[in-house]
Each structure stands twice: as structure tokens, then as C-alpha cells.
Amino acid sequence: MDQEPRIAVFGAGSIGCHLGGMLAAAADVTLIGRPAPMAEIERNGLTLTGPGEARRHVRGLATATGASAAARADFVLVTVKSADTAAAARELAGHLAPHAVVISFQNGLRNPGMLRAELPGRPVLAGMVPYNVVRSGPAAVHQGSGGALTVEDDPAARPFAAAARAGGLDLTLHPDMPSVQAAKLLMNLNNAVNALSGLPLREQLGTRAYRACLARCQREALAAFRAAGIVPARVGPVPPRWTPVVLGLPDALFRRLAAAGLRIDARARSSMWEDLRRGRPTEIDALQGEVIALARRHGLAAPANARLAALVREAERAGPGAARSWSGRELLAELGG
């Protein structure tokens, strides 16, 4: 491109604001989200923090609340919750420019396919955000861990990749995004454990009983993946098939072997924890629910994932501030440990 790419972020919550704020250094960015946070960003700018002590304040970001604001965009990043994907695509369909490329930066396995079904003939690419971002103020988001964004390796993605790197985002292009999405799903199975613990991620992952809960969920997912012929990509220091074994190690040994993976600051928590705290629906159906459904299709059971999903739904019904915080031992006992 001869000029800065025009990028619209549709569903500018925590992840969307983080991506848009970083990209603003190298692109013309419009954030499209809920009225209250968009108005706050319009008035005061957007503050990005983390990992570590990194801080960036972005002023002059264009904000909007409707899909029509994406009409001039070269790239439209979809960052809505998985349950809202089809509706988001229908909202965007009448406004996208003929040349616009849609990139899904969402959890779960099926969102790019859902977008393609609703936007026939348009280029839709899969993307993956490996780290955790939570809202830290009315117009502020915090990145609590590290890692590189991944986007489907396609010629249409290359101008976006260049802008992302120029904006300070670490990004790789990958030829096999379904395998990357499967690997991310394995990681995201911890979202429910973290949300139910009520603890920061670093503290929760440093406790063996909580890791044992995650290991059970991952073993069920890996069995379902094998039955479906899915081979998760290696996106961290440990191959996916060995991760449940490493999670089961004693705390001191785990911390030594998994030091790189535990570079998580003290404020980091899962997006599901944030959803429960704010009284919003979680993505449990796109995470544990995806494992349960895949296992069922292949004649397998996923009891640990099913019980965690049930506990998260109970916490959703309880409402903000009313949900129980589970100790590691209590949660493991619920899973049959």
C-alpha cells in the first residue's frame, strides 16, 4: 500500500482496543464498540499498559458505535465474543468496501468459518492473540503476558502484517491456522479455571491443584483432537501433547521448567474472570463447550470440561460479585480428583 492502511476494529473491547491502540502508530484506525467506552476514549484517549512497565497513551483515535464506520476500511478486525460472530458479520455485510479483508482475532475454532458463511466471496482470514488483555480503566487496557500474534499466511494479510510490526506488535504469518487455533484452545481451557479461582493468573498457575484441573481438560481435548485428526501446532516451549504432564509437576519443578511460560505480571487475569466480574456472558461454549461437542461427535466423553462449563454457567447466573471462588483442591474434587 502507498498510504497507511485504514483499519476498523469491530467489537472494540479489551483485545480490540489493545490491537487498535497499537496499530494507530502505523495505520488509520477506527474503533467500533459500545457507546460508553467509545465516548471515554474520544474524550481522554486510550491508555495501553504492559507487559511489565510498558505504557502508551494514544490520542485522536476515531471511534464509532455502528458498522457503517467500517465502510472505508482496508482491513476489518473482528474481536467480538464468539457468540456474537454471526450477528457481527450480518451487521458488517452491507458496509464493507469491495477490497476489504476481514481478520478474526477471536477465541475458539469456528469463528472464521462463521464469518465466511455470512460474508460469501469476501476474504476472511484467521488470527490468534496468544496473550491476555483486560480492561484496567474506562479508557485503559492492560496486557499481562507476552507472545506473538499469528495471522493466516495469505498475500492479502501482508500489508496488515507490515502495519502491525511497524506499530510494535510481534506478528507471524502461519500457513496452518486450524492447528494454531487448536493450540490456542488448549491454552484457553485455563480461562474457566482462572475465572473460578478468583486469583491472578500467575498465582493460579503456580498452584499444582489448579494446574491438575487444566491438565484434565487438556487431556480430554487432546483425545478429541486425535479422534478428529487435528494436530495442534507448537506455539510455546512445550509440545502440546506434553503440556498436561508438565502441568502435573510439583510446584517448584514446574516453575523452573515453565519459567518462560510464567512471565505473567501480577495483574493478569483471564478474560472470563473479567466477564464474570462485569456480569457479561462468558465464552465457555466456545472453549470447554467446543471440546465437549468435538468429543461427543467422536463417541468420547469430556467430563472435566463438562463440569467446569456447568460451574461457569452457575457463576454467570449468580451475577457480579456473587460467584464463589474455588480453591484448587475444591475445584479438583469437583472434577473427580
- Tell me whether the omega of the peptide bond preceding residue 130 falls within 30 degrees of 0, making it cis: no
Residue 43 sits in the same domain as residue 65: yes
State residue 31 phi and psi, 5-degree precision: -90, 130
The pLDDT of residue 238 is 84
Q: Same domain, yes or no, for 16 and 165?
A: yes
Q: What pLDDT score was predicted for residue 260?
A: 60
CB 211 within 8 A of CB 187: no
CB 97 within 8 A of CB 123: no
Q: Is there a domain that residue 1 lies in?
A: no
Same domain, 195 and 164: no
Reduced DSSP (H G I as helix, E B as strand, rest coil) percent helix, strand, coil of the chain, to 5:
50, 15, 35
Q: Are residues 125 and 225 located together in one domain of the fold? A: no
> Are both 125 and 161 inside the same structural domain?
yes
Q: How many other CB atoms sit within 10 Å of the CB of residue 245?
A: 11
Q: Are residues 88 and 190 in the same domain?
A: no
* Same domain assignment for residues 242 and 289: yes
Where a domain ends, among 175, 194, 229?
Answer: 175
In this prediction, residue 209 carries a pLDDT of 97
For residue 212, being part of any structural domain is answered with yes
3-state secondary structure 216-255: HHHHHHHHHHHHHCCCCCCCCCCCHHHHHHHHCCCHHHHH
Residue 296, domain CATH: 1.10.1040.10
Residue type, 284: I
Q: Where are any strands of DSSP class E within 165-212?
A: 171-174
**Number of domains the chain contains:** 2
Same domain, residue pair 18 and 157: yes
Indicate if 79 and 200 belong to the same structural domain: no
Residue that finishes a domain, picked among 117, 149, 175 = 175
- What is the extent of the structural domain holding 196? 180-334
Same domain, 151 and 225: no
Asked which of 148, 175, 202 is the last residue of a domain, the reply is 175
Specify whether 133 is located in the same domain as 258. Answer: no
Q: Per the domain annotation, does 257 fall within a domain?
A: yes
- Specify the pLDDT at position 1: 56
User: Mind listing the pLDDT tens digit of every residue in the chain (337 residues)?
Assistant: 558 999 999 999 999 999 999 999 999 999 999 999 999 999 999 999 987 777 999 999 999 999 999 999 999 999 999 999 999 999 999 999 999 999 999 999 999 999 999 999 999 999 999 988 988 899 999 998 888 999 999 999 999 999 999 999 999 999 999 999 999 999 999 999 999 999 999 899 999 999 999 999 999 999 999 999 999 999 877 899 999 999 999 998 888 877 665 667 777 889 999 999 999 999 999 999 999 999 999 999 999 999 999 999 999 999 988 888 999 999 999 998 7
Residues 153 and 186 placed together within one structural domain of the fold: no
Overall pTM > 0.75: yes
- The CATH number of residue 104's host domain is 3.40.50.720
Buried-exposed string 270-291: b where 16+ CB fall within 10 A, e elsewhere: bbbbbbbbeeeebbbbbbbbbb
Question: Most distant CA pair in the chain: distance in Å?
Answer: 59
